[in-house]
Amino acid sequence: MIRNQDTPGALLDPTDVRGMFDRIVQRYDLMNRLMTGGRDVAWRREAARIAIGSGADRGMDVATGTGDLAFELHRQGIPLVAGIDFSGGMLRAAESKRLSAGTKGVTFVQGDAMHLPFPDATFDALTIAWGLRNLPDYAAGIQELARVLRPEGRLVILEMTPLQNPLLRRAFDLYFQNAVPVIGGIISGDWQAYRYLPESVGAFPPAVELAGMMRGAGLRNVRYKLVGGGTVALHIGIRN
């Protein structure tokens, strides 16, 4: 169901978002590799590196999906990492990866990013990759992420961002709005999910606006770096 929005947030209701990710989980990782030419792996690696900074004891990856960024935070040195998601299907896939790799320092938790089941100031590194765009209220979601960050802790948001150059945007939209739904539809069997993806990116606020929301949530040194030819942004902020 399309949401009636009075604050900037996802185009779909949370229940529909969860159902959609439960349906596409089988081919989710494969579709990511195909759509980004495998670059998503390097972007997650960079997100983890920035979130860790000079070191972190406790990390969390929110909207973790199949868990890749949670594993990356652990691989890069955080001893205890939580991965949280509200989709049972995605979490089962993440847990099965964890079991086959025998990873001990990562725990997956089912929960809502809008109401994280952790006390204030619990984590010193927080990441969310391609998850914020699916939350019902972006500003409130960022505030909830900031709430569980310790002072000096780092938040990294990895997310699609609307291209600012109109010519490049038209060229990218041709690929994104036409090819992605077809490839996604054929590979995942879920045409609706891969139509929602370009629609949700088209409606997503520009990086400067998101930076404003991060400052409004009590984060400082807010900045962002564009990757993927300007189609993806790594947003960074430090908790006051």
Ligand X SMILES: C[S@@+](CC[C@H](N)C(=O)[O-])C[C@H]1O[C@@H](n2cnc3c(N)ncnc32)[C@H](O)[C@@H]1O
> Which residue ranges make up the site for ligand X (CB under 6 A)?
14, 17-18, 21, 32, 63-65, 68-69, 85-87, 90, 112-114, 129-131, 134-135
Residue whose CB is nearest to ligand X in the complex, by number = 65
| Nearest residue (CB) to ligand X, 17 versus 234 | 17
Calculate the alpha carbon distances from 115 to 61, 137, 158, 211 in Å.
Answer: 14, 12, 20, 21
| Nearest residue (CB) to ligand X, 158 versus 207 | 158
d(CA 45, CA 39): 10
Q: Which two tokens stand for residue 217?
A: 């949530």
| Nearest residue (CB) to ligand X, 167 versus 185 | 185
CB of 161 to ligand X, least distance (A): 15
CB of 25 to ligand X, least distance (A): 8
**3-state class (DSSP) for residue 54:** coil
| Nearest residue (CB) to ligand X, 33 versus 170 | 33
Torsion over CA: 185, 23, 140, 11 (sign): positive
Residue 87 backbone dihedrals phi, psi, to 5 degrees: -90, 115
CB of 122 to ligand X, least distance (A): 16
d(CA 37, CA 34): 5
Phi-psi region of 143 (alpha: psi -120 to 50; beta: other; left: phi over 0): alpha
**3-state class (DSSP) for residue 218:** coil
CB of 83 to ligand X, least distance (A): 9
| Nearest residue (CB) to ligand X, 152 versus 199 | 199
CB of 31 to ligand X, least distance (A): 10
